[in-house]
Structure 1
Amino acid sequence: MAMRDLGETTLTGLTLAGRPGRWQMQIAAGRIAALRPCTKAGGGLVLPLLADVHTHLDKTFTAARMPRRAGSLFDAIEMMGADAAGWTVDDLRARTQRGLARAYHHGTALMRSHVDWGEAQPPLAWSVLNELRQDWRGRIELQLASLTALDLMPQIGPGIAAHLRESGGVLGAFIYRNANLARDLATTFDLAEKHGLDLDFHVDEGLDPEAQGFDAIVEETRRRGMAGHVLCGHACSLSVRDPSEVAGLLDRATDAGIGLTVLPGANSYLQDGAPGRTPRLRGLAPLIEAGAAGVPVMIGSDNVRDGFYPYGDYDLFDIFRLAVILGHLPPEDWLDAVSQRPAAWMGHSLQLAEGGPASFIWLDATDLPDAISRPRTARHVWREGRILPETQGETE
């Protein structure tokens, strides 16, 4: 179904997320021709498009192939590794196309996907996703980040970093209680500096207070002056460490210029799980405290329908709703965590402004709390002055 082009049109009585009052928006030639305050109400809620800074497109839509519900993070890693042995180009392309199509129709404009990279040669998923990155340009701007166990970085990291420099991408590593943490982390930072790469870590994704990879990353980032170039995802162990210790660490993270991505879906699903028992601890990093300290906090979809998290639909607003509920967040203060903040981290802007593209999300709601309270409320995604079809296909 083709997008609906309304040509020149005016939307009146809008609530713009993050701005007081009511607004009138004039749209012409796919741009916001004018944005003015008005007195009329009842025109719906407008959000900027969304930026999903932490996903795993290579693993997506494999949940039905898993032999069991993951009992832990490492159980999920083992199951996904076994499944990955049978991935083909056609399988990867079909699954990742479906994920990108769902994200696009839900209003995501920017996405970063981590791709498992455990051997010297680039994985099959990297080449497939690089092709899709080109295919989707102009609809979703897709960034790719390698994901390698930190222990492997001295052996295969130099080849990965050189490949990333040539093909474009972000250097990533998985860190959890590593025996040679300081040495291997220094190697990873050396590679990033040598090849001009940003870093994106999976760190301390568990409930062990002794997991302190985040601390080491903070110190290494500060020492090297890499503010704005190092992002940490998960940091679940911060949720069970001494609060005064964490407060000091978050202050140091702010000074170092590190970003933090919180993943409410998979983290709350995998942490503290056991058969026949209600989980007590959800593994949610202290995002309120981090934000108050000045750390740029972002919220991402993480895994979608795979061995780590068997749910989701690449609907980042739905993930935002989950974070608001689990984290007791005032939604008006946190929308930037799924839009402008990760967009800026990825080198883009999604702010709505006169003269900019008429690309936004319209919701039949009075404000953000109303939209969160009614998840099935009508949603129209605008892309350069045209409304996407409400019937959302599985592929494009």
Structure 2
Amino acid sequence: MSDPGAALLLRNARLPRWLLPADWPGQGGVPGLADIALADGRVQSVLPARPGAAGAGGAAETWDLAGALALPGLVDAHLHLDKTFTLPRLGAVEPGLLGAIDAMMRDKAGWTPGDVRQRAERGLLWAWQAGSVHLRTHCDWWDPAQQPIAWPVLRELAEDWQGRVRLERVNLSPLTLYADRDWAWRTARDVAASGPGARLGGFVHSTNWDPQALMHLLQAAQAFDLDVDLHCDEELNAGAQGLAGVVATMTGLGFEGRVVCGHVCALAAKPEAEAFALLDAVARLPITLVALPVTNLLLQDATAGRTPRQRGLTLVKEA
């Protein structure tokens, strides 16, 4: 073992091929098992397992995984912990995204800090037990006059779960609110002041499209050194302009590599040539895209009494 000071040695771990170098030994096309040395919460070395090797090579503790699969900690890049476990109390919900938003708005009237904390922490626990170590949650921030009650609760949970899960928080505000430049700057200031892991976000949709508001959002984020995470084009409208607007606004702004666009379902509705040209522009900047297949399969092309025709998934493979 090359790391005699390792705190933990994981012996005989099975690693996916994409984690291993091309010259990793194997048999019959199957990669051989690995010994993984860990110390101070980090991987110190990954070496081919030595069959029959005795002892821990100086490691404080040794676990024999006996060929079990070992993976890096999982990342869930788009959550809504403030909304978790509300379904049983929502009652009848109209199909589709806007119906889901209306139902959540009604439920939100009864939220308390204790209610949000109990539900969100339950979601955190489930994610951690499933192997997730890095989460990003969006938090509804629809009232222009005040912070939502969930925002400080999520910050407290981020602090409480340090060492187990890294929790980032994004304010989810309608793009229309950013049309007020003063509000955009105040909100970015408040988000930045709320502690580490805070990001600036917005809901960008054809029903609220406003290029000037988007400019204010990105400029405010840049002014307060905040990464941006947008709900963008969460619809199957070929004319949706959100992603193209983000590309146009970011070009020349000097804010490249700091923006995530989630959902971007409308890409799947655009003509291929237009969609591919837009994806090329996204890659050049670059902008990170996050797909949410389960959510979009449920909420897109959903109308009462009508069978959905479209899946609602963005162009993951093409991107």
TM over 0.5, yes or no? yes
- Mapped to 1, the partners of 2:238 and 2:245 lie a distance apart of 14
Q: Which residue is equivalent to 2:192? A: 165
Is 1:12 paired with 2:12?
Answer: yes
Q: Which of 32, 56, 80 in structure 2 is aligned with 1:22? A: 32
Shift of 1:33: 5.6
Q: Which residue is equivalent to 2:308? A: 279
Distance 1:138 1:196, change over 3 A: same
Q: Indicate the SS of the match to 1:205.
A: coil
Q: Deviations for 1:110-163, whole angstroms, at most 9, x for unmatched residues?
A: 111111111221110001111111101111111100010001113332221110
Q: Which residue is equivalent to 1:104? A: 128
| Matched ranges for 1:88-127 at <5 A | 88-119=112-143, 120-127=145-152
Q: Indicate the SS of the match to 2:244.
A: helix
Q: Which residue is equivalent to 2:168? A: 143
- Mapped to 1, the partners of 2:83 and 2:295 lie a distance apart of 13
- Mapped to 1, the partners of 2:9 and 2:214 lie a distance apart of 54
Amino acid at match of 2:211: A
Determine if contact 2:93/2:103 at 8 Å carries over to the other structure: no
Amino acid at match of 1:122: Q
Determine if contact 2:12/2:34 at 8 Å carries over to the other structure: yes
- Mapped to 2, the partners of 1:163 and 1:248 lie a distance apart of 37
Mark the runs of 5 or more structure 2 residues left unpaired by the alignment. Answer: 1-6, 25-30, 52-64
Distance 1:220 1:190, change over 3 A: same
Q: Which residue is equivalent to 1:289? A: 318
Distance 1:79 1:28, change over 3 A: closer
Q: Which residue is equivalent to 2:253? A: 224
- Mapped to 2, the partners of 1:39 and 1:176 lie a distance apart of 56
Q: Which residue is equivalent to 1:61? A: 85
Amino acid at match of 1:215: A
Distance 1:180 1:97, change over 3 A: closer
Shift of 1:198: 1.2
Q: Which residue is equivalent to 1:82? A: 106
Distance 1:10 1:98, change over 3 A: closer
Q: Indicate the SS of the match to 2:169.
A: strand
Amino acid at match of 1:108: S
Give the TM-score taking structure 1 as reference length: 0.68
Q: Indicate the SS of the match to 1:25.
A: strand
Q: Deviations for 1:346-390, whole angstroms, at most 9, x for unmatched residues?
A: xxxxxxxxxxxxxxxxxxxxxxxxxxxxxxxxxxxxxxxxxxxxx
Q: Which residue is equivalent to 1:189? A: 218
Distance 1:273 1:33, change over 3 A: same
- Mapped to 1, the partners of 2:208 and 2:46 lie a distance apart of 56
Identity of aligned residues (%): 37
- Mapped to 1, the partners of 2:287 and 2:100 lie a distance apart of 28
Q: Indicate the SS of the match to 1:133.
A: helix
Between stretches 267-276 and 226-235, larger displacement belongs to 267-276
- Mapped to 1, the partners of 2:258 and 2:42 lie a distance apart of 32
User: What's the RMSD between the two structures over aligned residues?
Assistant: 2.1
Give the TM-score taking structure 2 as reference length: 0.83
Determine if contact 1:13/1:39 at 8 Å carries over to the other structure: no
Q: Which residue is equivalent to 1:384? A: none
- Mapped to 1, the partners of 2:283 and 2:248 lie a distance apart of 11
Shift of 1:193: 1.7
Aligned length: 284
Q: Indicate the SS of the match to 1:114.
A: strand
Q: Indicate the SS of the match to 1:218.
A: helix
